[in-house]
């Protein structure tokens, strides 16, 4: 039940409450179970006790050193062609959806005219299939001359003239995943070529590499080759994804070389694919969450919002959870035909603010309760984001009761907080005391995303 903050309730009749502050499954920061019997007159003592307990808990594992290129201090935001346009080379039959200069110029125009840039989506990124099948006579990669008649430099100029940044794709091995020339043996030349062209981000794939050692060495080498060019180039890796089948990745080490890194399979335009990514992330959170931070992020792959495979509620779930996971927000959709509803979701300022929160801590799954999953993310200014997903795929909306004391390691609402629902629709949910409960309703496969702001007992102002 919603309990509006009311100072007189602090001195009401004695009331016996069972408070269970649980940081359960996979909260990497704190593994405690506190069960307390409180009277309302004992609440202040309870608060003090909880703070004492929390003071004894390691507040966070220190983050590993990040790649020192000053980039990706918040998760990268932009557009990436792969999931929506894949490797469409047929510009005769499908001039509007083949991988061509025209596609990227149109997207650049729309990123500016339709508010994407203003919302924070800055990087316009080319994925696989931009290259000509052969390197040039000096060993440099070249764009397909028919599909990119002005080459990458002209496209980069165009993108820059719009105030955007350009991303490109290459591969650490002998060939890209789609069979175009790989960078193995050409790391320095390719890094310099990208810098000369004015590229601002490199997605470096891991197909067709002969050994795990060459894979690791190649990712490291390319990191320093990019650095040596002197140009600021965000380095987006897939190193752990290709390592995982053979060896547990060392994420602390990867963070020293990459600005973000994919660990899990390619996203598809389907609910099953989004669920697989979420389930993998929660199952691995003890390994990956503490590694993320300014300069280096876990990358659960592209946003597929605005395409064909996700229902409205599932799109809400992707947006909410990508914000909780501090994920790079790289949309792969068609900005020329996106629905106003999907656009509003992708441009939701408050949700983007959670994704881009300056504290830079990735969220985690706090608990699974039947078909409900509760996730939380610490934010700057002692605020928290809370996401509750209804994973039941039969029936209608279900109610879930949040025990306020369980949020934010027991302190998000101590002694009180103000809660705003951001998704699926924005609603002020008012003031809540530490000991109260909040009942929400969630559609099947949907998510309710909340922002919790701490308030002091007496002043009702931000602490
Ligand atoms: C791999 C990557 C994808 C995409 C394709 C391109 O599968 O994981 O994101 O870049 O290659 O071929």
At 261-285, the pLDDT tens digits run 999 999 999 999 999 999 999 999 9
**Average pLDDT of the residues in 54-59:** 38
Q: Which residue's CA is the closest to the ligand 1 atom numbered 1?
A: 177
Q: 2-6, 164-168, 266-270, 395-399: lowest mean pLDDT where?
A: 2-6
Spacing, Cα 261 to ligand 1 middle (Å): 13
Q: Which residues pair with 170 in a beta bridge?
A: 204
Catalytic residue among 114, 266, 279, 286: 266
Distances (CA, A) of 194 to 16, 144, 153, 157: 66, 15, 9, 13
Counting beta carbons within 10 angstroms of the beta carbon of residue 353, is it exposed (0 to 12), middle (13 to 18) or buried (19 or more)?
middle
Q: Which of 85, 150, 89 is nearest to 124 (CA)?
A: 85
Point out the ligand 1 atom lying closest to the alpha carbon of residue 302.
9
Catalytic residue among 205, 299, 301, 334: 205
Predicted local distance difference test score (pLDDT) of residue 12 = 26
Q: Is the pLDDT of residue 203 over 50?
A: yes
Q: Is the pLDDT of residue 31 over 60?
A: no
Point out the ligand 1 atom lying closest to the alpha carbon of residue 176.
12
Is the Cβ–Cβ distance between 125 and 167 less than 8 Å?
yes
pLDDT band at 82 (very low <50, low <70, confident <90, very high): very high
Predicted local distance difference test score (pLDDT) of residue 457 = 56
**Residue 266 among the catalytic residues:** yes
User: Can you give the length of the chain in residues?
Assistant: 463
| The two three-digit tokens of residue 312, written as one number | 């409205």
Q: Is the pLDDT of residue 60 over 80?
A: no
**Average pLDDT of the residues in 174-188:** 98
Residues with CB under 6 A from ligand 1: 82, 127-128, 176-178, 205, 238, 266
Across the chain, mean pLDDT equals 88
**Residue 286 among the catalytic residues:** no
Predicted local distance difference test score (pLDDT) of residue 1 = 29
**Average pLDDT of the residues in 218-246:** 98
Spacing, Cα 83 to ligand 1 middle (Å): 9
Q: Which residues pair with 398 in a beta bridge?
A: 442
Spacing, Cα 169 to ligand 1 middle (Å): 9
* Tally: H helices and E strands in the chain: 14, 18
Give 314 or 4, the one with higher predicted confidence: 314
Tens-place pLDDT, residues 366-412:
999 999 999 999 999 999 999 999 999 999 999 999 999 999 999 99
**Average pLDDT of the residues in 28-39:** 29
Beta strand 384-390 with 372-378: parallel, antiparallel or unpaired?
antiparallel
Share of the chain above pLDDT 70, in %: 85
Is the Cβ–Cβ distance between 297 and 329 less than 8 Å?
no
Spacing, Cα 57 to ligand 1 middle (Å): 41
Q: Which residue's CA is the closest to the ligand 1 atom numbered 4?
A: 82
What whole-number distance in Å separates Cα of residue 325 and Cα of residue 163?
27
């Amino acid at each position: 039940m919603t309990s509006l903050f009311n100072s007189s309730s602090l001195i009401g009749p004695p009331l016996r409450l069972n408070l269970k502050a649980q940081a359960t499954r996979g909260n990497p920061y704190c593994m405690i179970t506190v069960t307390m019997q409180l009277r309302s007159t004992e609440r202040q003592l309870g608060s003090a006790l909880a703070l004492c307990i929390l003071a004894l808990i390691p507040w966070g594992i220190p983050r590993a050193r990040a790649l020192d290129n000053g980039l990706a201090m918040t998760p990268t935001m932009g557009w990436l062609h792969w999931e929506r346009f894949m490797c469409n080379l047929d510009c005769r039959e499908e001039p509007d959806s083949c991988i061509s200069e025209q596609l990227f110029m149109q997207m650049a125009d729309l990123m500016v005219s339709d508010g994407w840039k203003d919302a924070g989506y800055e990087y316009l990124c080319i994925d696989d299939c931009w290259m000509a099948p052969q390197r040039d006579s000096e060993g440099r990669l070249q764009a397909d001359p028919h599909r990119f008649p002005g080459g990458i430099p002209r496209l980069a100029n165009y993108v820059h003239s719009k105030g955007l940044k350009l991303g490109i794709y290459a591969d650490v091995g002998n060939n890209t995943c789609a069979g175009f020339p790989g960078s193995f043996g050409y790391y320095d030349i390719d890094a310099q070529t990208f810098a000369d062209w004015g590229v601002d981000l490199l997605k470096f794939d891991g197909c067709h590499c002969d050994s795990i050692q060459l894979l690791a060495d190649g990712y490291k080498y390319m990191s320093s080759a990019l650095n040596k060019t002197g140009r600021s180039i965000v380095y987006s890796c897939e190193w752990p994804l290709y390592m995982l089948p053979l060896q547990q990745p060392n994420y602390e080490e990867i963070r020293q070389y990459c600005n973000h890194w994919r660990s899990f399979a390619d996203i598809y335009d389907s609910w099953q694919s989004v669920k697989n990514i979420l389930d993998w992330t929660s199952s691995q959170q003890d390994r990956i969450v503490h590694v993320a931070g300014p300069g280096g992020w876990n990358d659960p792959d592209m946003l597929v919002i605005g395409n064909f495979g996700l229902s409205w509620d599932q799109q809400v779930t992707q947006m909410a959870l990508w914000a909780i996971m501090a994920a790079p927000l790289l949309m792969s959709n068609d900005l020329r035909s996106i629905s106003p509803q999907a656009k509003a979701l992708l441009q939701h300022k408050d949700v983007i603010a959670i994704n881009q929160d300056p504290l830079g801590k990735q969220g985690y799954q706090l608990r699974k309760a039947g078909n409900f999953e509760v996730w939380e993310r610490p934010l700057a200014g002692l605020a928290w984001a809370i996401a509750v997903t209804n994973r039941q795929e039969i029936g209608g909306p279900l109610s879930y009761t949040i025990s306020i004391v369980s949020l934010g390691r027991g302190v998000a609402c101590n002694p009180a907080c103000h809660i705003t629902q951001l998704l699926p629709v924005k609603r002020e949910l008012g003031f809540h005391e530490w000991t109260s409960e909040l009942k929400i309703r969630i559609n099947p496969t949907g998510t309710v995303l909340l922002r919790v702001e701490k308030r002091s007992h007496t002043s009702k102002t931000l602490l």
